[in-house]
Amino acid sequence: MTKRSALKPVPSFRSEAEERAFWETHDTADYLDWSRAAVGVFPDLKPSSATISLRLPASLLVELKVLANRRDVPYQSLLKVFLAERIDRERAVESGAPPNKRLQRTTLGTRRR
């Protein structure tokens, strides 16, 4: 691995839009030493969510509720897991990469009594 020459100074920006436009056309490796980067931890950060209205056939909703009941989880939570896993599989097919193992939640498969 070759050592990079001196890094370029990060310019000052007048707005977030100007900064966004700059980084869309420039490689951060020319400006930042990523080997010295630290992982950011934000314990109080809550993921944003949006409320949606979704019409499902009654039989599909019943099946979803049955599956969720077997796993002892709310059906909305199980639906989110199913959607996340499917989206991950679709992305993997498009990119040729293996699916993200993080999304394969095996803990929903067992009920504790």
Do 17 and 24 contact (CB within 8 A), yes or no? no
Q: What is the pLDDT of residue 103?
A: 52
Instruction: Count Cβ atoms below 10 Å from residue 48 Cβ, excluding itself.
Output: 5
pLDDT in tens, 16-40: 999 999 999 999 999 999 888 999 8
Q: What is the pLDDT of residue 113?
A: 42
Where residue 96 falls (left for φ over 0; alpha for ψ -120 to 50; beta otherwise) is left
Q: Where are the domains of the chain?
A: 58-109
Confidence (pTM): 0.49
Tell me how far CA of residue 68 lies from CA of 55, 63, 64, in angstroms. 18, 9, 6
Q: What is the pLDDT of residue 96?
A: 79
Written in H, E and C, the secondary structure of 55-96 is: CCCHHHHHHHHHHHHHHCCCHHHHHHHHHHHHHHHHHHHHHC
Residues of the chain where predicted confidence (pLDDT) is lower than 70: 1-4, 99-113
